[in-house]
Structure 1
Amino acid sequence: MSHSWQMSKMDTRFTLHFIAEKDGQLLREALTEWRISKRALTAIKFDGGLLTVNDVERNVRHPLRMGDRVEVKFPPEEKSEGLAVEHGEISIIYEDEAILVLDKPAQQSTIPSREHPTNSIANLVCGYFQQQGLASTAHIVTRLDRDTSGLLCIAKHAHIHHLTGLAQRSGEISRQYEAIVHGHVAQDVQSIIAPIGRKETSIIEREVREDGQFAHTDVTILRHFYLQDEPMTHIQLKLHTGRTHQIRVHMAYIGHPLVGDELYGGSRDHINRQALHCVSLKMLHPLTDERLQFKSNINVDMQRLLNDSLV
């Protein structure tokens, strides 16, 4: 597949370019092979997008010839009504025309909620896009809980969000975390495969339950230590699925809740949030297939626990 993308200063619509590789193929069939979704085609048709072949506007029934230049111009995007544009600091690790990778601090929501309607990553990213003159909204690819810190990825356009969604479902986006948990975890390496669902008595809390969604977490011990005579373990975790509160629920399930995670049995004597940080994000670039890897050091509050500890 041969393609490129661009955004001109005159036209802020996200645009992809492709070269047709088959004689007689309908434009619609080629667009499907190029992973343009039916929803995107509907938006292009009715909301201000454009399809051209060799600079001439065409519809999806147009037959292509090998070597034809196809341009897909996506319509401008509008943010949802509940998402306020705010301006503030965001820590950018990587940025190009398709994705944004940020290092999120603790105590900041990824998306606004009733309890925390302002200052979310999504609000601030919308403000950042507005400053750039980008006609888009914040599409969260890898979400983090409010009190979890570390790397998260945002797609700049609905089509990129579609592509990263396909990548997530096929396991092509990999995240690793580090956490500090109560107790000394016995096994050096283990896989926790236990379904997770909403707890019947809570809107927020999750639990391992038979009718839950499949969830798989790999756990590797980095170090056993004591903090003021209390046993703790510094662990590394790899997510194979992305269920809500997955790491927190799985670690509590095996009897080692995250330090600071009061919702799932942890204590806040030493830290005022769950000790969890996304340290690594690996993915293929949604347009170029280039292998991308991003790293982030654990936050100072978690590092302080490790520095104050005794082996």
Structure 2
Amino acid sequence: MQFAFRNEIEGSMVKSMLGRHGISRRLLTKVKFDGGQIMVNGIEKTAIYRLEKGDLVTITVPDEPDNEKLIPDDVPLNVLFEDDHYLVVEKPAGKASITGSLHPTGAMSNAVKGYISRKNYPNQTVHIITRLDRDTSGIMFLAKHRYAHALMVQHKFRDTLEKRYYAIINDGDLPDSGQIDLPIGRRDDSIIERQVRFDEKSKNALTSYVVTERKNDLALLDIILHTGRTHQIRVHFSHLGYPLVGDDLYGGNHDLISRQALHCHHLQFLNPFTDEMVHVELDMPDDMKNLLK
């Protein structure tokens, strides 16, 4: 792939100018040794070349090879948004986001690998930007090449990323809206569970919510994650005494539904390549809808 940038600082090195545009040293190394190219005003140059103001720098990034350790799954994939740089797909409940050593197939990463293999895209590496717990359904966000992934990590674009979730809890005295600002860390006696804790082992976690419906002694919440801690929504509401329906890890049970009633229904982000805000919506699945009927 090729990307072009106009230099704005007199005397800047090529590598410094590209760094301001999110091209990392690691990616420059790939360009240097794996078949890429740097051109300044149509002439090949090195990364330490000194630029004049207004110079046009074009960088050719080598294609990313197939990861042979990731096995492609030939399964349907519901694509919600796609361009040359990003891919947004639906993850059903019960499917892991990434493979594990004991389960080398059956995850979303395998399904996406199968998709990009069938499409014969030049970049065959799967770059997951946002993942979901196995039993959480909804929207997953991926990059189609390493530069697109790196840009979404930068504050300028990461801060535009918004994920919203539907969750169902047992109705009670929870206010109609609010914010939960409580730090989260791993439980000392578990490698899986998290908890609200107030020590050096925790990280800040902020969740906001609105109750959108109360029915059948249940409450439907529309939740915004302002931070991305593991199990954040599940831990925060369990700590308040409102575990998610079906979440037996954090105080719920399977009397009404066989998994935690949690679904990522909204994703928005500023596309670094088009400077347009992308909005993706995904309807709540039937197993959660049926709870409210």
1:302 maps to a residue whose letter is M
2:49 maps to a residue whose letter is H
Find the aligned partners of 2:67 and 2:20 in 1 and give their Cα distance. 29
Is 2:293 the counterpart of 1:303?
no
2:239 to 246, 253, 256: 253
SS of aligned partner of 2:130: coil
Measured after TM superposition, the shift of residue 132 of structure 1 is 2.2
Q: How many residues align?
A: 290
Structure 1: tracts of 5 or more residues without a match? 1-13
Is 2:207 the counterpart of 1:220?
no
Taking every aligned residue pair, what percent have the same amino acid on both sides? 40
* Structure 1 counterpart of 2:252: 266
Which residues of 2 match residues 187-202 of structure 1 at below 5 A? Answer: 187-202=175-190
The TM-score with structure 2 as length reference comes to: 0.93
Measured after TM superposition, the shift of residue 242 of structure 1 is 0.5
Find the aligned partners of 2:103 and 2:95 in 1 and give their Cα distance. 9
1:146 to 134, 141, 150: 134
Measured after TM superposition, the shift of residue 256 of structure 1 is 0.6
Contact 2:218 2:292 in 1 (8 A): no
The change in CA–CA distance for 1:80 and 1:182 in structure 2 (over 3 A counts) is farther
Contact 2:151 2:157 in 1 (8 A): no
Find the aligned partners of 2:11 and 2:266 in 1 and give their Cα distance. 45
Contact 1:185 1:256 in 2 (8 A): no
* Structure 2 counterpart of 1:41: 28
The change in CA–CA distance for 1:279 and 1:37 in structure 2 (over 3 A counts) is same
Q: Deviations over 1:222-257 (max 9, x none)?
A: 12222xxxx321111100000111111111111111
Measured after TM superposition, the shift of residue 216 of structure 1 is 0.5
Measured after TM superposition, the shift of residue 106 of structure 1 is 0.9
* Structure 2 counterpart of 1:63: 50
Which residues of 2 match residues 87-106 of structure 1 at below 5 A? Answer: 87-106=74-93
2:197 to 192, 209, 233: 209
Find the aligned partners of 1:35 and 1:56 in 2 and give their Cα distance. 22
Measured after TM superposition, the shift of residue 22 of structure 1 is 4.2
The TM-score with structure 1 as length reference comes to: 0.88
Find the aligned partners of 2:88 and 2:54 in 1 and give their Cα distance. 35
Is 2:15 the counterpart of 1:28?
yes
1:196 maps to a residue whose letter is I
* Structure 2 counterpart of 1:111: 98
Structure 2: tracts of 5 or more residues without a match? none
